[in-house]
Structure 1
Amino acid sequence: MSIPVVDFWFDFGSTYSYPAAIRAPACAAKIGVSIRYRPFLLGPIFKAQGWDTSPFNIYEAKGRYMWRDLERVCAELSIPFRRPEPFPQDSLLAARVAIAGRNESWHDDYCRAVFRAQFGEGLRIDDTTVIAGILHRAGAPASWLEQAGSDDVKRVLRTETEQARQLGIFGAPSFITPDGELFWGNDRLDTALAWAKGTAAATA
């Protein structure tokens, strides 16, 4: 039986995508499922819902709760947390670099490192110096920054974002199982993985 692959859709500016990105590999490996990182942009999807910023900014009480909850989640996972300013951050540069290197061995390490830099260290992920440093630590040359600005990368990112919308994704993190089931939220990661494992076994 082949290993089922769960698509992990995220925006680098998404708060709850941070703990999901960090814990996803170990959770997936534990039950024999593979995770595929799929960066996209939430901005166009939010705009289609009538929002010009994160709903955590629009709804003050919800935002207060989210920041405190994220602190608790990160503490439970023993991962660093530092509230980034501003929020949400412009994730376009980080996403384009990820798209450019989507077939490279450093891609997943880079994605996790971007989240750690932003939500663990409070760094600006729209800063080319920060992204260059992350690439260096992931073992990738800074030349990927130039490739990230290519027309092809821009097109692919737009396509990925449109695909996310067509899949019914409305927030991040979202997980799509091989049979097309959608699970939303860091707290649904384990459920999505178990679902993928179970359906794969049932059809084997």
Structure 2
Amino acid sequence: MSGDRYAEQRTPDEVDELARRARDGDRDALELLLTEVRPRTLNVCRGVLPYSGDAEDACQEALMNVAAKIGSWGGRGRFTTWLHVVAVNSARTTYRRMKNQATPSDVLPMERPDPRTTSVIAGTRLDLLEAMETLEHDHPQYVEPLLLRDVYGLPYEEIAAQVGVPLGTVKAQIHHGRRLVRPLLRGDG
């Protein structure tokens, strides 16, 4: 396996093998892995944060978290599923930090998308992030499965393996999470 191959050319098994080697302390494998997954990580962050600079910051944070916490990847599911969780959490942390640092003059009234007309999949994710913040406050167990399924389209089986709960529980969490989030996205919740 050549180190100069693009991430999309590596098979999921090859990425998992790199991750196992990195988890086991192989520094060269870790560097290769971080290079391989950077484009995927940036895409995940861009899916949550609409501005490139913010997504880049979140991506960098995610990659640092991967390097620091690679030992917590249990190897039960695909490494890329675990990576999605790390990237989403980094993007959400970046969003929270920016939200807490923002002053009223930083946000123009027209910059905030109308959640009734903004597509969650095709448009900006600010309305989704607000909904996830609300959901996390009252029902944190629904947030991760809902994001992994509805935003990133991961299969239920991978989500169940990642969050460590039975498949039926994951499906129920996603169903209940959707029900709770739907009115928040329409702006009437």
Specify if TM > 0.5: no
TM-score (normalizing by structure 2)? 0.26
TM-score (normalizing by structure 1)? 0.25
Of Structure 1 and Structure 2, the greater helix share is in 2
Of Structure 1 and Structure 2, the greater strand share is in 1
Task: Tell me: higher relative CO, structure 1 or 2? Use CA pairs within 8 A at least 6 residues apart.
Answer: 1
